Amino acid sequence: MSAGFFLSDRNRADLDWKNGGFVWRYRNKVTLERTFGIHSYHFIPYVAAEPYYESQYNEWSTTALFAGCLFPVGKHVQFNSYYEHENNTGKRPNQQVQAVGIALNLYYSLQKK
């Protein structure tokens, strides 16, 4: 995209067998991010939206909205700090969750000898 923005789209299916039953959900996460630099350090703020289709409710019942920032530490480590607002309309009454989190991402590659 223009002005250095990067748009990504991740699709995912979760399959769950519990309590003798089977449910699934489909998740589509769209993320918009841009890399910024201060001297030699680069960080990546982003916003994302992820709607969920849940088979147990037969509808698009959950939407998660994110705002966060990726902080690389070296070549193989990255911290992801974020705020999340989640709205679940499948359960009655509707449930809303506000969360702040941090995730540690580790990157590695397998090299052939």
Q: What is the pLDDT of residues 6-58, one digit of tens each?
A: 999 999 999 999 888 999 999 999 999 999 999 989 999 999 999 999 998 99
Please give the share of the chain, as a percent, with pLDDT higher than 90. 77
Sign of dihedral through CA atoms 88, 11, 109, 42? negative
pTM, 2 dp: 0.84
DSSP state at residue 81: E
> What confidence category does residue 90 fall into, taking pLDDT thresholds of 50, 70 and 90?
confident
Q: What is the pLDDT of residue 18?
A: 82
Q: Does residue 3 carry a pLDDT above 90?
A: no
Residues 70 and 73: their CA atoms lie apart, in Å, by 10
Between these two residues, 19 and 100, which has the higher pLDDT value?
100
Q: What is the pLDDT of residue 20?
A: 86
Q: Where in the chain are the domains?
A: 2-106
